[in-house]
Amino acid sequence: MPRGGSRKHPADCKCGNCPKMGPKKRKPETIADGDKNFATRVLARIGKPGWRDYIDIAKVESDEDFALHLLVSTAGYDQFNKLLDRKLGKAVQTVNHVHDKPIDLNVNVSIAEIVRQVRQRKQEYERSRQ
């Protein structure tokens, strides 16, 4: 009695386990509504008359209004930086870390270079003995 083996699936199967299909492809995460100009519009409203009126949550009617509400509230500094990161792109973060293992370094050197170095060391050795 045979055990295991491949399962038979119809051609339009979406299970992701079929031999020809392989694993399901993952989709990249998208930002809310996919709107890339959101931060630009919110930052353009800062400083215009009435932009501080959104401290009252009852006046919030859209995503942009809510972003302004967050800017006016106590978390405004963090929200402002997040909007700038979204508009201009996030800055590079340098990371300093210690390696647990030594770093392997492979160097290619020509034989002629090695012979030249050996001859030079031999000449220096002979000069030092005289």
Interval 31-75: pLDDT, tens: 555 566 888 888 888 888 887 787 777 888 888 888 888 887 766
Contact between residue 27 and residue 21 where contact means Cβ atoms under 8 Å apart: no
Neighbours of 70 (CB within 10 A): 19
pTM of the model: 0.42
Is pLDDT at 127 greater than 60 in this prediction? yes
pLDDT at 26: 72
Cα separation, 59 vs 53, whole angstroms: 8
pLDDT band at residue 29 using 50, 70 and 90 as cut-offs: low
The domain segmentation of the chain, as residue ranges, is: 33-96
Amino acid sitting at position 66? F
Structure tokens at 108: 């290619």
Question: Which is higher by pLDDT, 11 or 63?
Answer: 63
Give the residue among 75, 65, 73, 70 at the shortest CA–CA distance from 45: 65
